[in-house]
């Protein structure tokens, strides 16, 4: 929980969590610190089955469960005496950028939502990123895992990412490898593991039907112009389907640029968006 230095009365709050397998120590402290300096409380947590959070099987990513966890975090936040219960926002990035689109559509406690470089549709991403000649083998592998788990086997663990160009695209490549390896080199206890069933669940994940239902909650979507990890054309099509009030911000670069070279811009966009819609004084520039 990040709080402003002086909390004389309940303050607005923002619930934040990271993307696919990422931990809260991977830059969310910097985002939360900027928002706290602007007068917000920030509740930052690891997704279930990862990092400091409980949950089994470890390293499993169930998007529907994670979306519900955002709502449980809101319930916790609104009960805290430091927090103004009717002034709650949610922030998500990458995989959680899709989760917040779903949560904002079904939970009217959310006063505004920010979705950064969002993963919008597992089906669309799979068909854009996976070569056609690998589709049958991928589906056979997922089906075999379902049978094995039904027979009592433990979930199979696979790599989140790899720098091996010979590996299939269901494990993201060098760009993702560099991102996670950089944080691990700084001492973040991230493991390059995810259950194979998480990739099955990822195919089911589709935030697109939820996006038109977010209104009248204000939506800000931040999209990277060269994003192929969460394909930007899918995100832009989802944004087009959203109803007002909504706002789009484009950032030059790849999927990871909001966490690095464009962090200052993306974090200021977040600060100003929540300031506008949760009603706190703007931080001096």
Lowest-confidence region among 5-14, 73-82, 92-101: 5-14
Are 238 and 222 contacting, i.e. CB atoms less than 8 angstroms apart? no
How far is 249 from 121, CA to CA, in rounded Å? Answer: 20
- Residue pLDDT, tens place only, 114-164: 999 999 999 999 888 888 888 899 999 999 999 999 999 999 999 999 888
- 279 is written with which tokens? 């009603």
Q: What is the mean pLDDT of the segment spanning 54-70?
A: 98
Largest CA distance in the chain: 61
pLDDT over 90, % of the chain: 87
Q: Write down the pLDDT at residue 127.
A: 86
Alpha carbon 184 to its chain centroid, in Å, reads 19
Task: Note the pLDDT tens digit of each residue in 28-46.
Answer: 999 999 999 999 999 999 9
- Asked whether 38 and 280 are in contact (CB, 8 A), the reply is yes
Distance, CA of 15 to CA of 44 (rounded, Å): 6
> pLDDT tens across 237-249, in order?
999 999 999 999 9
CA distance 279 to 270: 13
- Give the pLDDT band of residue 16 (cuts 50, 70, 90): very high
11-127+204-278, superfamily in CATH? Alpha/Beta hydrolase fold, catalytic domain (3.40.50.1820)
Going by pLDDT thresholds of 50, 70 and 90, the confidence category of residue 169 is low
How far, in Å, CA of 114 to CA of 108, rounded?
15
- Quote the CA–CA distance of 196 and 61 in Å, as a whole number: 9
| Cis ω for the linkage preceding 245 (within 30 of 0) | yes
Q: How far apart (Å, rounded) are the C-alpha atoms in residues 233 and 56?
A: 34
Does residue 214 surpass a pLDDT of 70?
Answer: yes
3 and 77 in contact (C-beta within 8 Å)?
Answer: no
Assign 285 a pLDDT band (cuts: 50, 70, 90).
very low
pLDDT score for 281: 45
Q: Any idea of the CA torsion for 174, 180, 185, 190, to the nearest 10 degrees?
A: -140
Per-domain residue ranges of the chain: 11-127+204-278
User: What stretches of the chain show up as alpha helix (H) in DSSP?
Assistant: 28-37, 63-79, 95-106, 122-129, 135-150, 174-185, 196-204, 232-241, 263-278
Summary mean pLDDT of the chain: 94
Residue 283 has pLDDT above 60, yes or no: no
Say yes or no to pLDDT of 79 above 50: yes
- Give the pLDDT score at 279: 81
């Amino acid at each position: 929980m990040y709080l402003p230095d002086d909390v004389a009365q309940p303050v607005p709050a923002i619930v934040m969590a990271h993307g696919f397998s990422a931990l809260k120590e991977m830059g969310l402290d910097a985002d939360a610190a900027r928002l706290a300096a602007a007068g917000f409380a920030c509740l930052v947590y690891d997704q279930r089955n990862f990092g400091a959070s409980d949950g089994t099987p470890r390293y499993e990513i169930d998007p529907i469960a994670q979306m519900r966890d955002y709502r449980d975090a809101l319930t916790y936040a609104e009960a805290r005496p430091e927090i103004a219960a009717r002034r709650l926002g949610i922030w998500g990035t990458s995989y959680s950028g899709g989760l917040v689109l779903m949560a904002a559509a079904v939970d009217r406690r959310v006063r505004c939502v920010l979705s950064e470089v969002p993963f919008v549709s597992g089906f669309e991403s799979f068909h854009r990123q996976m070569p056609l000649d690998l589709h049958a083998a991928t589906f056979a592998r997922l089906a075999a895992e379902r049978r094995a788990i039904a027979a009592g086997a433990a979930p199979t663990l696979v790599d989140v990412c790899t720098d091996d160009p010979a590996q299939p695209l269901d494990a993201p490549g060098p760009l993702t490898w560099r991102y996670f390896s950089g944080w691990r080199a700084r001492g973040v206890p991230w493991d390059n593991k995810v259950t194979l069933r998480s990739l099955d669940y990822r195919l089911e994940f589709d935030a697109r039907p939820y996006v038109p239902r977010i209104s009248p909650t204000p939506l800000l979507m931040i999209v990277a112009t060269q994003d192929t990890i969460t394909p930007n054309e899918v995100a832009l099509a989802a944004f087009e389907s959203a109803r007002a009030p909504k706002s789009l911000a484009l950032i030059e670069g790849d999927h990871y640029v909001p966490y690095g070279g464009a962090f200052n811009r993306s974090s200021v966009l977040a600060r100003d968006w929540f300031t506008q819609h949760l009603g706190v004084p703007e931080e001096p520039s």
